[in-house]
């Protein structure tokens, strides 16, 4: 029997989402298909389905994650590996590959007495790919990624916070997972609200004790928007650090090419868009690009690069904008071409190409505006 590909995919999807009802339904369908040429296997499959007649979630799939004893909220969540690539600059790539190499060779390094903690800290502004990168690290290593829910870990009951931190630090390495402390500065930010300084110190200390209790092979990724808020004692426990700043021109080009042009290597637009989009995060570029592609689908028209350029320049100037439907008005094209040439250093010819107007039109606008080109 050959399993219909759609059933196979649905089966895997259902199993990974612990959707017992769907698993059973597809299982029964497969048992039927199997029946014609392998009765014995079909029988075994049916028995299996009957025997495992308890919902997967209730049978411990979700409940096996550690929870806070008061709120019953899970302290960690398993996060799926990412499906989109992460673009990094050269130094970021170098840190990641060094880190992965050390993880893969930890036995050798330990035997020689030169292993270091397998902790990596990702710092950078919102939307620069920290969470994404943590997923890629786990995927590269083929290990599950467990995100620590610091909001559930930090319990209203004092003693419980320490207990929670310990159960997280016991659970994840036992599962051979990557422990991901996302927004680790949340610990430091406690200072403002109801928590007093003494309690904050205790939380930081339990996190540090947790980190120190880990085996040499345990992999810890931490992410923060505010590295300066981080306790230096925590900081020191992460020998690998990546400063994920806003993407540089080369990375922006990669991002535009991927999210806007669907990796079309021949498109001339990404380098032009990269030049006018400094100040945007990867998440900004993704948002603008996907909105332009949605518009193109709804309008049944080709991608409107002018509208993308407009949204990029507006967003870079601090006004949140997405690519708009309906194309740019000629007044908007005029002001955009002037700002791209004068403020963002694009040539008149490139501005014309992005806006889909003639080179002469751009020259005329620049002339009207005063000082000609450049």
Among 277, 286, 321, 339, binds ligand ATP (CB under 6 A): 286
Token pair for residue 367?
A: 């002339």
CA distances (Å), origin 135, targets 80, 129, 141, 325:
7, 10, 10, 34
128 sits near ligand ATP (criterion: CB under 6 A): yes
Report the site for Mg ion in 130-149 (rule: CB under 5 A).
130-131
Q: What is the DSSP string of 180-227?
A: EETTTTHHHHTTTTT--HHHHHHHHHHHHHHHHHS-TT-EEEEEES-G
Token pair for residue 102?
A: 């050390």
Distance from chain centroid for Cα 260? 18
Residue 26 interaction partner, one of ligand ATP, Mg ion, none, beta carbon < 5-8 Å per kind: none
Q: How many CA atoms lie within 13 A of 228 on its CB side?
A: 1
How many residues form the binding site for ligand ATP (CB under 6 A)?
A: 17
Counted residue by residue, the chain has a size of 374
The nearer residue to ligand ATP, 20 or 256, going by C-beta atoms, is 256
Distance from chain centroid for Cα 107? 29
Are 33 and 1 in contact by the 8 Å Cβ rule? The answer is: yes
With contacts defined by CB under 6 A, name the span among 8-16, 130-138, 165-173, 200-208 that binds ligand ATP.
130-138
Provide the minimum distance between the beta carbon of 130 and Mg ion in the complex, in angstroms, as a whole number. Answer: 5
The nearer residue to ligand ATP, 263 or 373, going by C-beta atoms, is 263
The nearer residue to Mg ion, 131 or 295, going by C-beta atoms, is 131
Token pair for residue 135?
A: 């997923």
Are 191 and 199 in contact by the 8 Å Cβ rule? The answer is: no
Provide the minimum distance between the beta carbon of 89 and ligand ATP in the complex, in angstroms, as a whole number. Answer: 9
* β-bridge pairing 145-148 and 76-79: antiparallel
Q: What is the DSSP string of 287-315?
A: HHHHHHHHHHHHHTS---HHHHHHHHHHH
* β-bridge pairing 240-243 and 118-123: parallel
320 sits near ligand ATP (criterion: CB under 6 A): no
282 sits near ligand ATP (criterion: CB under 6 A): yes
315 sits near ligand ATP (criterion: CB under 6 A): no
Residue 288 interaction partner, one of ligand ATP, Mg ion, none, beta carbon < 5-8 Å per kind: none
283 sits near ligand ATP (criterion: CB under 6 A): yes
Provide the minimum distance between the beta carbon of 224 and ligand ATP in the complex, in angstroms, as a whole number. Answer: 8
* Residues in contact with ligand ATP, shown as a per-residue x/- string from 9 to 48 under the rule CB under 6 A: ----------------------------------------
Among 87, 180, 238, 240, binds ligand ATP (CB under 6 A): 87
User: How many other β-carbons are positioned within 10 Å of the β-carbon of residue 246?
Assistant: 18
CA atoms of 36 and 251, how far apart (whole Å):
55
224 sits near Mg ion (criterion: CB under 5 A): no
CA atoms of 304 and 328, how far apart (whole Å):
9
Provide the minimum distance between the beta carbon of 225 and Mg ion in the complex, in angstroms, as a whole number. Answer: 8
* Residues in contact with ligand ATP, shown as a per-residue x/- string from 56 to 85 under the rule CB under 6 A: ----------------------------x-
CA atoms of 187 and 139, how far apart (whole Å):
27
How many residues form the binding site for Mg ion (CB under 5 A)?
A: 2
Report the site for ligand ATP in 210-229 (rule: CB under 6 A).
225
With contacts defined by CB under 5 A, name the span among 47-55, 63-71, 108-116, 127-135 that binds Mg ion.
127-135
Q: Which residue number places its CB atom closest to ligand ATP?
A: 282
307 sits near Mg ion (criterion: CB under 5 A): no
Query: Could you list the residues that contact ligand ATP (CB under 6 A)?
Result: 84, 86-87, 124, 126-132, 225, 247, 255, 282-283, 286
Query: Could you list the residues that contact Mg ion (CB under 5 A)?
Result: 130-131
């Amino acid at each position: 029997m050959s399993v219909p590909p759609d059933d196979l995919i649905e089966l895997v999807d259902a199993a990974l989402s612990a959707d017992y009802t769907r698993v059973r339904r597809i299982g029964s369908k497969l048992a039927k298909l199997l029946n014609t040429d392998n009765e014995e296997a079909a029988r075994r499959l049916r028995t299996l389905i009957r025997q495992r007649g308890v919902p997967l979630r209730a049978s411990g799939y979700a409940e096996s994650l550690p929870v806070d004893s008061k709120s019953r909220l899970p302290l960690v969540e398993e996060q799926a590996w990412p499906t989109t690539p992460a673009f990094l600059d050269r130094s970021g790539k170098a840190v990641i590959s060094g880190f992965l190499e050390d993880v893969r060779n930890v036995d050798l390094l330990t035997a020689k007495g030169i292993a270091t903690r397998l902790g990596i800290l990702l710092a950078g502004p919102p939307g620069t790919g920290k969470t994404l990168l943590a997923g890629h690290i786990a995927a590269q290593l083929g290990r599950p990624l467990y995100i620590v829910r610091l909001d559930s870990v930090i319990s209203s009951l004092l003693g419980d916070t320490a207990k929670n931190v310990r159960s997280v630090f016991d659970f994840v390495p036992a599962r051979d997972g990557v422990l991901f402390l996302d927004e680790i500065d949340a610990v430091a930010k406690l200072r403002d609200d109801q928590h007093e300084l003494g309690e904050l110190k205790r939380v930081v200390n339990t996190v540090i004790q947790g980190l120190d209790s880990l085996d040499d092979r345990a992999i810890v990724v931490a992410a923060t928007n505010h590295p300066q808020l981080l306790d230096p004692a925590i900081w020191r426990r992460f020998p690998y650090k990546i400063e994920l700043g806003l993407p540089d021109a080369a990375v922006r080009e990669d991002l535009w090419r991927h999210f806007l042009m669907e990796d079309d290597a021949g498109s001339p637009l990404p380098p032009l868009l990269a030049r006018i989009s400094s100040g945007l995060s990867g998440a900004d570029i993704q948002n603008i690009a996907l909105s332009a592609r949605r518009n193109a689908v709804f309008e049944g028209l080709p991608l409107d690069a002018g509208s993308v350029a407009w949204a990029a320049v507006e967003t870079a100037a601090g006004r949140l904008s997405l690519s708009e439907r309906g194309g740019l008005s000629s007044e908007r094209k005029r002001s955009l071409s002037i700002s791209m040439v004068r403020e963002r250093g694009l040539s008149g010819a490139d501005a014309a190409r992005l806006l889909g107007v003639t080179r002469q039109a751009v020259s005329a606008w620049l002339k009207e505006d005063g000082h000609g080109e450049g």
